[in-house]
Amino acid sequence: MIDSASWAERLGGDTFLAQTCFRAHKVIRSNGNTSPSPLTWGDLNEIVAAHRLEPPRMRLSRAGEAVPATAYSILRTNRRGVSWYQPQPADFHARLAEGASLVIDAIDQIHSPIREAAAGLERFFRTPVQVNAYASWTSEEGFGTHWDDHDVVVLQLEGSKRWKIYGPTRQAPAWRDLEAPEAPTGDPIADIVLTPGDLLYLPRGWWHAVSADQGTASLHLTFGLATQTGAEFLGWLVDDLRASVTVRADVPRFGTREERADYLAAVRKDVLAALDDPAVLDRWETSLDATHPGRPRLSLPHLTAVPAEPLITVQATVPRARIDQDDQAVTFAGAGNEWTFALPVAPLLRLLAGGPPATLADLAAASDLTLVQVAEVVSALVAGQAVAVVGGSS
């Protein structure tokens, strides 16, 4: 499993966040040291066969255009009138051999090893992560030269892939923007080939072109990092300012010039006071983490409470859970909820927040709580959708 510590070590930890993140691309070579792959060719074949993945969730792309689903699938309809496109292996293979690339969006939602890797990266970057899978067989560029509206971390899994990187042509371009970046001219600033285990970090807005021109089939994952821009911060601040009667009041659209000026002065005062708070960015980041739903998961067969059994295994489903502690209590915030516990519960919460699954026996040993007490804490977190039972149930 690629956890947050593994991601931090590979990318460069705090040094990467301070010097490279948002600023420059970075290539991290595997040097032959590869972790177990979160996705194999066999996994990919099974995913396509076992799931009804239709465009745009699963698609073939060639020269920047989507290949019609009818070129590689047959429309099936069951006796209840439900229709779906079923991939036909011979046609599917033919389109890929002709130069199309295979894309599966949000593959982290349907393949647990990738989901775990995404959660680990989310803990490191403190932002939501979506993972797409890409497979290519030819030197044809499936998407042309393009840019993404979010930072990405690329993990090469199988074969090799060439990346031509051109850099940005507009500072901090966004999905909702007033202008579109101009296409780059001239030669790329970097021309690299990724091999199995290599990582590439690319900031948003950096133009790039990708091809499998090394004579081998290529499979890679792109971890897309949700952007947290000033626009997102100001949107949160506006909601936070609803506590002010000035902000909640009607705008004096029919007032005199003086009344309108007084209104603007009052709004300006509230906004500046909020921005003058040195902790305002900390509060925003805490809100982002604590309110995000995470990666919800059922805990069947346990509908009401988790039994106090030592081998019951649980895992946090909120990768960015917040833990705060003072000399009287400890709080755990995630999935839009907040719980306050006695101080002896703190080690249990920190073990859960670390990411890997843990048995109730592990949690009891870490916190010196009884198994019954551990089960009560875990049951509360399961009820609040911040933790799930992932194993050990009979």
In this model, does residue 390 exceed pLDDT 70? yes
| Mean pLDDT, residues 76-102 taken together | 95
In this model, does residue 189 exceed pLDDT 80? yes
| Mean pLDDT, residues 203-222 taken together | 94
Q: What is the pLDDT of residue 5?
A: 77
Greater confidence (331 vs 174) lies with 331
HEC string for the chain = CCCHHHHHHHHCHHHHHHHCCCCCCEEECCCCCCCCCCCCHHHHHHHHHHCCCCCCCEEEEECCEECCHHHCEEEEECCCCCEEEEECHHHHHHHHHHCCEEEECCHHHCCHHHHHHHHHHHHHHCCCEEEEEEEECCCCCCCCCECCCCEEEEEEEECCEEEEEEECCCCCCCCCCCCCCCCCCCCCCEEEEECCCCEEEECCCCEEEEECCCCCCEEEEEEEECCCCHHHHHHHHHHHHHHCHHHHCCCCCCCCHHHHHHHHHHHHHHHHHHHHCCCHHHHHHHHHHHHCCCCCCCCCCCCCCCCCCCCCEEEECCCCCEEEECCCEEEEEECCEEEEEEHHHHHHHHHHHCCCCEEHHHHHHHHCCCHHHHHHHHHHHHHCCCEEEEECCC
In this model, does residue 173 exceed pLDDT 90? no
Average model confidence (pLDDT) across the chain: 94
Each residue's pLDDT tens digit, 236-256? 999 999 999 999 999 999 999
Handedness of CA 78, 82, 85, 89 (dihedral sign): negative
How sure is the predictor about 3, in pLDDT bands with cuts at 50, 70 and 90?
confident
| Mean pLDDT, residues 123-131 taken together | 96
- How many residues make up the chain in this entry? 394
With contact defined as beta carbons under 8 Å apart, do 199 and 256 qualify? no
Q: What is the pLDDT of residue 1?
A: 58
pLDDT more than 90, % of the chain: 87
How sure is the predictor about 63, in pLDDT bands with cuts at 50, 70 and 90?
confident
Output the pTM of the full model: 0.93
Q: What is the pLDDT of residue 172?
A: 86
Q: What is the pLDDT of residue 227?
A: 96
| Mean pLDDT, residues 179-207 taken together | 94
Q: What is the pLDDT of residue 292?
A: 96
Each residue's pLDDT tens digit, 196-209? 999 999 999 999 99
Each residue's pLDDT tens digit, 296-350? 999 999 999 999 999 999 999 999 999 999 999 999 999 999 999 999 999 999 9
Each residue's pLDDT tens digit, 11-60? 999 999 999 999 999 999 998 777 789 999 999 999 999 999 989 999 99
